[in-house]
Amino acid sequence: MSYNLLKGKKGIIFGALDANSIAWKTAERVHEEGGEFVLTNAPIAMRMGQINELAEKTGSQIIPADATSLEDLQNLVEQSMEILGGKIDFVLHSIGMSVNVRKGKAYTDQNYDWTQKGTDVSAMSFHKVMQTLYKNDAMNEWGSIVALTYMAAQRVFPDYNDMADNKAYLESIARSFGYFFGKDKKVRVNTISQSPTPTTAGQGVKGFDGFIAYADKMSPLGNATAMDCANYTVSLFSDLTKRVTLQNLYNDGGFSNMGVSNEVMEPFMKE
């Protein structure tokens, strides 16, 4: 259902790789709500991905940008304002990658070059995106910036590896930069902490099937889907959430406040 919540709003959406991507679903929902946007992803991901299909469906243009490159980001922001005909109202940072996870390196046996690469891509890129927008005065007042995160930033999930530290850093950047963006430009900055979701990045985590089934059984409302995340993001881009900022917002079916659920306890019961 469409409510026209984003009519007249313009934005940039990072991270749509394929139809499973949270950013893909978000782009579809933003389009349905009347928002216009530029799609962007790392040049290498575009060669692998199906982003053209999404661009066609949503009437969007694609500008490749490696989110760790200030030069690419500057070009992205300049070109986006040109294409969209003005300043930006919303930005989705939906980017994550750990080389240690990809290559099966344990948390206790890090290759620090890879750790650094993962931090740059998954967390520092968020600072770089915001700094580029800020310096170019590219955001409209009452604009909204959202990044996606996971609860391993607060609690231990052993196989989430160095991504846990990257997410803690990402959430901190949202608060720290959110202060300046709020004070100086009236722009809000939040992170959404999403349930485990079957996407390319999600499935890279060891034991993901067990992980997702466990979270589902623990959560009174079950796991939040990629579509649930897209809908929540639309609400944060809309004018209905104007003074929500510096928050880490859980979209997880209640998981983060659970101790244990009856379903999870069942195998341990004597009778």
Ligand X SMILES: NC(=O)c1ccc[n+]([C@@H]2O[C@H](COP(=O)([O-])OP(=O)(O)OC[C@H]3O[C@@H](n4cnc5c(N)ncnc54)[C@H](O)[C@@H]3O)[C@@H](O)[C@H]2O)c1
Contact positions vs ligand X (CB under 6 A): 14-15, 17, 21-23, 41-42, 45, 66-68, 94-97, 121, 148-150, 194, 196-197, 199-202
Return the closest-CA partner of residue 138 out of 88, 184, 173.
Answer: 88
Instruction: Outline where DSSP puts E strands in the chain.
Output: 10-14, 36-40, 61-62, 88-93, 139-149, 188-194, 248-251
Q: Which is nearer to ligand X, 66 or 228 (CB)?
A: 66
Residue 269 CB, nearest approach to ligand X (Å): 29
**3 state DSSP class of 62:** strand
Q: Which is nearer to ligand X, 150 or 169 (CB)?
A: 150
Cα-Cα-Cα-Cα dihedral sign, residues 125, 130, 134, 139: positive
Residue 211 CB, nearest approach to ligand X (Å): 8
- How many helices (H) does the chain have, and how many strands (E)? 12, 7
Residue 169 CB, nearest approach to ligand X (Å): 12
Please work out, in degrees rounded to the nearest 5, the angle formed at the alpha carbon of residue 191 by the alpha carbons of 108 and 157: 25
Please state whether 165 falls in left (phi above 0), alpha (psi between -120 and 50) or beta: alpha
Rounded CA gap, 70 and 29, in Å? Answer: 29
Q: Which is nearer to ligand X, 61 or 140 (CB)?
A: 61
Q: Which is nearer to ligand X, 58 or 199 (CB)?
A: 199
Q: What is the DSSP letter of 104?
A: T
**3 state DSSP class of 38:** strand
Q: Which is nearer to ligand X, 5 or 51 (CB)?
A: 51
The partner residues of 147 in beta bridges, in order of sequence, read 93, 191
Tokens of 268: 């341990």
Q: Which is nearer to ligand X, 42 or 91 (CB)?
A: 42
Return the closest-CA partner of residue 18 out of 202, 240, 207, 263.
Answer: 202
Q: Which is nearer to ligand X, 66 or 165 (CB)?
A: 66
